[in-house]
Structure 1
């Protein structure tokens, strides 16, 4: 994959498609509770149903952070391209903006799905995932140096 678009931007677009597909009814809380709930009950026998429901919610929110953490890594990598330096503030700011705008569009999409609800809290959680990706890149570059391979 030597073509810059294929190497840097296609992974971003594919991951955005993955996130978009997870915004459908298939990944609503009602559907994910069908397999996460029984798994939690198996792993935590005797836990009250309320606690299982709270854990299910936390797992779902962790999924939001993870999805957008990966998007942040991929977007920063695409903006950086073949540049020698490992960090530029403008790449970071563009990454945050892109992640937040995509999170907003994702929540707008969910507002049209009967079994999903749009939430500005989720936009914040999603955006936090992108910010965590930038922090990880910054720490990696500071402590391990920058090599122009891999994600960042």
Structure 2
């Protein structure tokens, strides 16, 4: 794929994932009770955490926030690296974290208008930590891949 195509595709994935986060933020957990694929995912997550943390725990919410932003941080790092391949990896990681964290602020603000949801600084912190891990994982995998390419050359 030409360089311009990679840039467009990587940012399209970021935008698509941001839309998924927006969609999820527009709903409460009870919106995913009943039937359907999202309800099945919720039941599966509750089944995983309930035996460890108890059935009334909010770990599912924390896990959802963390995972959503882990993916966003990873996608942002890839998009930034495609856009500015000559930039240092540490700057790209910091930029991905900053962008994801800023989006998390807008996400929490959005949730303050959704009945049954609220603006929670702890959720913002969870989102930022998830984005940090996502960006760092992609960085580590890319460095590992680069080292493997050097050894095989």
Bin for the TM-score computed over the shorter chain: 0.7 to 0.9
Aligned partners of 1:86 and 1:141 also within 8 Å: no
Please name the residue that 1:81 is paired with: 82
The structure with the greater share of residues assigned to helix is 2
The DSSP-based 3-state class of the residue aligned with 2:72 is helix
The DSSP-based 3-state class of the residue aligned with 1:13 is helix
Give the aligned length.
137
CA shift, 1:137, in A, is 2.1
In the alignment, structure 1 segments of 5+ residues that lack a partner are: 148-152
Please name the residue that 1:107 is paired with: 108
CA shift, 1:89, in A, is 1.4
User: Does the alignment pair 1:136 with 2:144?
Assistant: no
Counterparts of 2:29 and 2:141, CA distance in 1: 34
Task: Say which of 12, 15, 33 aligns to 2:14.
Answer: 12
Aligned partners of 2:7 and 2:83 also within 8 Å: no
CA shift, 1:32, in A, is 4.0
Q: What is the correspondence of 1:25-44 to structure 2 with a 5 Å cutoff?
A: 25=27, 28-32=28-32, 35=39, 39=43
In the alignment, structure 2 segments of 5+ residues that lack a partner are: 149-153
CA shift, 1:146, in A, is 6.4
Please name the residue that 1:150 is paired with: none
Change (3 A) 1:11 1:52: same
Counterparts of 1:43 and 1:18, CA distance in 2: 23
User: Does the alignment pair 1:51 with 2:54?
Assistant: yes
User: Does the alignment pair 1:123 with 2:124?
Assistant: yes
Q: TM-score, normalised by structure 1?
A: 0.75
